[in-house]
Structure 1
Amino acid sequence: MTELSDLKIRWSTLLLLVCFKTARVLSMEAWAITDWGEATATFYRGQDASGTMGGACGYGNLYSTGYGVHSTALSNALLNNGFTCGACFALECRLDGSKWCYPGKEIVVTATNACPPGSEGGWCDPPKLHFDLSYPMFSQLAQPVAGVIPVKYKRVPCKKRGGVRFTIHGNPWFDYVLVYNVGGMGAVCGVAIKGDRTGWHYMSQNWGQYWSASPYLVGQALSFQVRLCKVNTKEFYNVAPRNWGFGQTFEADNNFY
Structure 2
Amino acid sequence: MVQVIERAVGQVIDSMHANIGEQFTIDDMARTANYSKFHFSRAFQRVTGVSPGRFLAAIRLQEAKRLLVATSLTVTDISHRVGYTSVGTFSSRFRSSVGVSPTTFRQSGGFTRHIPMARRAVDARTAVVQGEISAPAGPPGLLFIGLFQDGIPQGAPIRCTVLRRPGSYLLSCVPPGTWHLLAQSVALGRESMLGDGPFAHDLALSVASHGPVTIRPGRPVERADLTLRPICNLDPPVLLALLDVRTHALGVSANASA
Rg larger for: 1
| Bigger strand share | 1
Q: What is the TM-score of this pair, normalised by structure 2?
A: 0.24
For normalisation by structure 1, the TM-score amounts to 0.25
If each structure's helix is expressed as a fraction of its own residues, which one has the higher value?
Answer: 2
Q: Higher relative contact order at CA 8 Å, sep ≥6: structure 1 or structure 2?
A: 2
